């Protein structure tokens, strides 16, 4: 089982040429067959048990090889930790923050912030569920699923050019159907994030440990495990319905998707 089996990731892999010379030299030494995904999660668990400044620890990266070329997705641990801290603090009234986040722990997390590059992170993560907008970046033919030494997996990957085009189409369909609003803004933010990376990059959605929970959920319903997962198809069908002005079609796809992932999220309460 994966060290953190409840996390899904959306990653950007940029070509080596997109990085500064020092980083380029460092990342060039990495092997695409390394256990970087497990290492990243294991270090995250270590920080939970023994808090430390993310700015002071040696960071890592994921490696993807395509046609003999290396593409890199840095963990960007410090940037992601600080963003998560701000999101957490913004979600609570100021007077109660100290009850959930003691001042000494906050100081540890924030220490070293002034010394680290705060570029946009290459990785977005989500626990227990996958945002529908992430699926809109892919088509079924780009999905790979199966089992490895850590259990069930589902990974989908495409060029960033494809992802940006699909994101724009999704944003247009949602804005036309519903106008400006939270959902439209989230899709726009996703598009803005994609636009910050090298045009030859790749985008990858990795279910992580959620693939195992999804497989279990689908099997319990008498379906053929991960092979029965039609999340991409459901989202694309919903978007097509919005674009065509067919509310029933849009609703069917969205309801199938939400129902499927709501069952996965329910495993959190059962633990």
pTM above 0.85, yes or no: no
Kindly give, in sequence order, each residue whose CB lies less than 8 Å from that of residue 34, ignoring residues fewer than 6 positions away: 63
Q: Which residue has better confidence, 99 or 8?
A: 8
Q: Where are the domains of the chain?
A: 13-122, 128-271
Instruction: Look at residue 29 in the predicted model and tell me its pLDDT.
Output: 82
Q: Which residue has better confidence, 207 or 97?
A: 207
pLDDT in tens, 247-267: 999 999 999 999 999 999 998
Instruction: Look at residue 82 in the predicted model and tell me its pLDDT.
Output: 45
pLDDT at 121 over 50: yes
């Amino acid at each position: 089982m994966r060290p953190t089996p409840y996390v899904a990731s959306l990653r950007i892999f940029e070509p080596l040429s997109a990085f500064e010379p020092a980083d380029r030299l460092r990342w060039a030494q990495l092997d695409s067959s390394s256990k970087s995904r497990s290492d990243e999660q294991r270090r995250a668990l270590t920080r939970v048990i023994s808090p430390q400044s993310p700015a002071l620890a040696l960071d890592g990266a994921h490696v993807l090889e395509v046609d003999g070329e290396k593409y890199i997705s840095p963990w960007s641990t410090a940037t992601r930790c600080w963003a998560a801290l701000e999101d957490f603090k913004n979600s609570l009234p100021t007077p109660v923050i100290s009850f959930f986040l003691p001042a000494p722990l906050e100081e540890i997390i924030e220490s070293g912030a002034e010394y680290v590059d705060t570029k946009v992170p290459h990785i977005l993560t989500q626990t227990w569920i996958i945002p529908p907008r992430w699926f809109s970046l892919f088509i079924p033919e780009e999905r790979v699923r199966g089992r490895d030494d850590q259990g069930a997996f589902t990974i989908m990957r495409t060029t960033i050019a494809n992802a940006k085009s699909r994101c724009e189409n999704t944003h247009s369909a949602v804005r036309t159907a519903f106008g400006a609003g939270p959902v439209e803004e989230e899709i726009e933010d996703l598009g803005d994030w994609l636009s910050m990376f090298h045009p030859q990059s790749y985008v990858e959605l990795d279910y992580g440990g959620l693939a195992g929970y999804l497989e279990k959920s689908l099997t319990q319903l008498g379906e053929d495990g991960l092979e029965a997962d039609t999340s991409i198809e459901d989202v694309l069908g919903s978007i097509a319905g919005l674009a065509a002005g067919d509310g029933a079609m849009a609703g069917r796809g969205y309801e199938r998707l939400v129902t499927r992932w709501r069952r996965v999220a329910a495993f959190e309460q059962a633990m």
